[in-house]
Amino acid sequence: MTDDFGLCHLSLSRFGEVIRSSGFYNAGQFIETCMSNPSPVVQPSSFLTLHYRLSGPQGDVINTFGGPPATLSLGTGELSAAVEQRLLGLAEGTHTTFDLPPGQAFGERKPDMVQWVARTLLARLGDPLEQYNVGDVVQFPTPDGMGTYAGAVRQVGNEQNADAVLFDFNHPLADQPVTFEVHVIGIL
């Protein structure tokens, strides 16, 4: 395509990178200048803006496609190492899906991470009047008070103690096959 000044502009795609070709006419001969402008790719410490969906056999656990995109930094533990590994090398604008085998994305289920917690401790950590129901996800402070972790209620009370709540602290997708869909919007 030629513009009003006799300059020619051409955009091509080759091996995932955009090649822009510009040039001009000199004495009837086209003189081409070519520059390569590859899209940024995800690196181990990249800051990303993306839409993503993590799902297992029972459906979605996280899905940002219906709302605002997520922003996160690789290498900070916001995603599992196996999921981050799938992002490395993806170019900005990529929309793809990965299937991870059982246990690879969030590890194996650990029986010792299913624990009874006394209501007296729950009252000290949160609202003493809180009512717990099977399926609720409850945030707990880390021992150092600097972060949180989650547990899902599996049972409320038992024969030995009506005032205890059984929590599962395993990731909901532990020991499950995981589908990871991602659309990389921006990379810094």
Average pLDDT, the chain: 84
Mean pLDDT, residues 40-68? 95
What tokens were used for 135? Answer: 């399926």
Domains and their CATH numbers in the chain: 7-37 (no CATH), 47-105+174-187 (3.10.50.40), 111-168 (2.40.10.330)
- How big is the chain by its Cα radius of gyration, in Å? 26
> pLDDT at position 3, please?
45
pLDDT attached to residue 96: 96
Q: Which pLDDT score is estimated for 160?
A: 82
Which residues lie below 8 Å from residue 78, measured CB to CB, with a gap of 6+?
A: 72
Q: What is the pLDDT of residues 165-178, one digit of tens each?
A: 999 999 999 999 99
pLDDT in tens, 2-38: 444 444 444 444 444 444 445 555 555 555 555 455 7
pLDDT digits (tens, 9 = 90+) for 95-142: 999 999 999 999 999 999 999 999 999 998 888 888 999 999 999 888
Is the pLDDT at 42 greater than 80, yes or no? Answer: yes
Q: Which has more pLDDT, 109 or 39? A: 109
Burial class from Cβ neighbours inside 10 Å (0-12, 13-18, 19+) for residue 52 reads buried
> Are 41 and 92 in contact, with CB atoms under 8 Å apart?
yes
Residues across the chain? 188
Partners of 156 in the beta sheet?
165
